[in-house]
């Protein structure tokens, strides 16, 4: 099943990708690799999901924020490539979680995005290498930020 068909099956409508909020490109293609800059949990109404996981938000709420980040990543990829069907596989995700100093559930939070990509591309192609760690702050107070690399078909 193509990624666009899987998105339809999951009832996910890709939003308009958020514009760059600074001096950077949201995505860059180099050969067969698409690098995407950090994306945030921006909601349909343009509001940002904010807070510190483990203090203001639960792990489950953080995972939902990470899934939303995944949808925003897909929106950017769709705009850059013309279709998410050109994505061959997930190579790497780097997830940053705004959390309290004693919080240790960063991987469970970033699973929200990883699980979305696994649903779309499957266990083999949708799961790549990954890092997840906590930070004391993110742009705009965002709960989560994720960047990464995808392999694409030319």
The ranges assigned to domains in the chain are: 3-10+25-152
Write the class of the CATH domain 3-10+25-152.
alpha beta
CA–CA dist 67, 77 (Å, integer): 15
pTM: 0.96
pLDDT in tens, 86-131: 999 999 999 999 999 999 999 999 999 999 999 999 999 999 999 9
pLDDT in tens, 57-98: 999 999 999 999 999 999 999 999 999 999 999 999 999 999
Rg of the chain, C-alpha, whole Å: 14
């Amino acid at each position: 099943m193509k990624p666009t068909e899987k998105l339809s099956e999951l009832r996910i409508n890709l939003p308009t990708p958020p514009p760059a909020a600074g001096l950077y490109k949201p995505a860059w293609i180099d050969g067969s690799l698409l690098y995407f800059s950090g994306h945030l949990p921006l909601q349909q109404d343009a509001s940002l999901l904010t807070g510190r996981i483990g203090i203001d938000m639960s792990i489950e709420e953080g995972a939902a924020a990470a899934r939303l980040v995944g949808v925003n990543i897909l929106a950017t990829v769709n705009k850059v490539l013309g279709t998410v069907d050109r994505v061959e596989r997930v190579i790497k995700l780097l997830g940053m979680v705004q959390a309290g100093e004693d919080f240790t559930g960063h991987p469970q939070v970033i699973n929200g995005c990883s699980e979305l990509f696994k649903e779309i591309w499957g266990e083999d192609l949708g799961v790549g290498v990954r890092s997840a760690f906590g930070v004391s702050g993110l742009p705009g107070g965002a709960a989560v930020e994720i960047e990464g690399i995808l392999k694409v078909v030319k």
